[in-house]
Amino acid sequence: MTVPAHLALADGTLFPGFALGASGHALGEAVFTTGMTGYQEVLTDPSYRGQIVTMTAPHIGNTGVNTEDPESFDGKPQVAGFVFRDPSPVVSNWRSEISLAKYLEQHGIVAIAGVDTRRLTRYLRDKGSQNACIGTGDPSALVDRAKSVPSMEGLDLVRQVTPVKPEAFEQGYAEWNPFITAGNGADAPAARPHVVALDFGAKRSIMRLLVQSGCRVTRVPATLSALEIEKLSPDGIFLSNGPGDPAPLDYAVKTIAELLGKRPIFGICLGHQLLARALGANTYKLKFGHRGLNQPVKDLTTSRIEITTQNHGFCVDVASIGSRAKTTHLHLNDGTSEGLEVPDAKAFSVQYHPEAAAGPHDSLYLFNRFMQLMHG
Set 133, 215, 269, 315: catalytic member: 269
Residue 266 CB: number of other CB atoms within 10 A? 28
Set 29, 41, 338, 355: catalytic member: 355
Dihedral pair phi/psi, residue 16, rounded to 5°: -75, 155
Whether 355 is catalytic is yes
Whether 269 is catalytic is yes
Whether 315 is catalytic is no
Active site residue ranges: 269, 353, 355
